[in-house]
Structure 1
Amino acid sequence: MSAQQAQAELVEEFGFFDNWMDRYQYIIDMGKQLPTFPETLKTPENKIQGCQSNVWIHHERQGDVLHFQATSDAAIVSGLIAVLMRIYNDRPATEIVATPPAFLEELGLDKHLSPTRSNGLHAMLKRIYAVAEQEAA
């Protein structure tokens, strides 16, 4: 499945929910399923600036793909990380760069997140794209 297909699948899943309270709960539940993030990776280099919550993203190249690990100390932000991981994790850098975050508008996340959470989400996306652009070069 491509990143584009992962976005479409996510949008379809969110369509099953009638209201944003259910969608928030789904996002939170996704965050609870994130793999454990090693304490040794909670370094200043991995910390995302611009997030109200503490967020760390670590990446490494594994063959032709970029593998990301991430965590947050906030439930909803952990869920947003899970959304990003579902779309961008374990994909080639060129595919990440070529896949704009259309899901933000399609899901309505920008409209339904607080300004600080929206800023944090954009900071996480900025890091993912920066890493992918650097690795694709």
Structure 2
Amino acid sequence: MDQADSIAGEQKRIEDDFALLEDTRDKYEFIIELGKELKPMPDEQKIAANLVRGCQSQVWMTAELDPASGRLALRADSDAIISKGLVALVLRLYDKRLPAEILANPPDVFEAIGLGRLITPGRSNGLYAMVNRVRQFAEGFGQAAKA
């Protein structure tokens, strides 16, 4: 699936996707499918330095700045399929975005689609830990670009 031109546009797409799903089981199956579609991260990147702290499962995340576009290229993976699906949602929002755009757009869509009521509190904490990690990357690369 192509990504929307803006984070706000992608949030709308995610809301639309979840609006089509009638019950909790359908929503879980959708998240699992997103996880299955996520490109695996190479094993050599699954190291302690790339672990996202605060997740119940192991979630690894890396970021690189594309010097030509100034956009972040994010990669992530998890050893648990639900966490993998959640990180896929995070990447849908923030991959290939400018650091300033990431920092200006909190993931309000997760509350809008009722994700907090759908997943366990531990998974919810992990989801926001993933978002915080992306924001840390954006802050770091954004400051480096100003230097």
Residue 39 of structure 2 is matched in structure 1 by 35
Residue 14 of structure 1 is matched in structure 2 by 18
Query: Does 2:132 correspond to 1:121?
Result: no
Q: 2:59 aligns with which of 35, 55, 58?
A: 55
Residue 25 of structure 1 is matched in structure 2 by 29
* Matched residue type, 2:8: Q
SS in 1 for 2:72: strand
Q: CA deviation at 1:30?
A: 0.7
Q: 1:97 aligns with which of 94, 103, 107?
A: 103
Q: Which runs of 4+ in 1 moved over 2 A?
A: none
Deviations along 1:6-37, whole A, 9 cap, x unmatched? Answer: 01111011100111110110010011011120
Gaps of 5+ in 2: none
Deviations along 1:94-116, whole A, 9 cap, x unmatched? Answer: 11011111111101111221011
The alignment-based identity, stated in percent, is 37
Gaps of 5+ in 1: none
| TM-score, length of structure 1 as denominator length | 0.97
Kindly tell me the number of residue pairs found equivalent between the two proteins.
137
Deviations along 1:46-85, whole A, 9 cap, x unmatched? Answer: 0011111011001111121000100001111110011011
**Cα RMSD (Å) of the superposition?**
0.8
Structure 2: how far apart are the matches of 1:48 and 1:109?
19
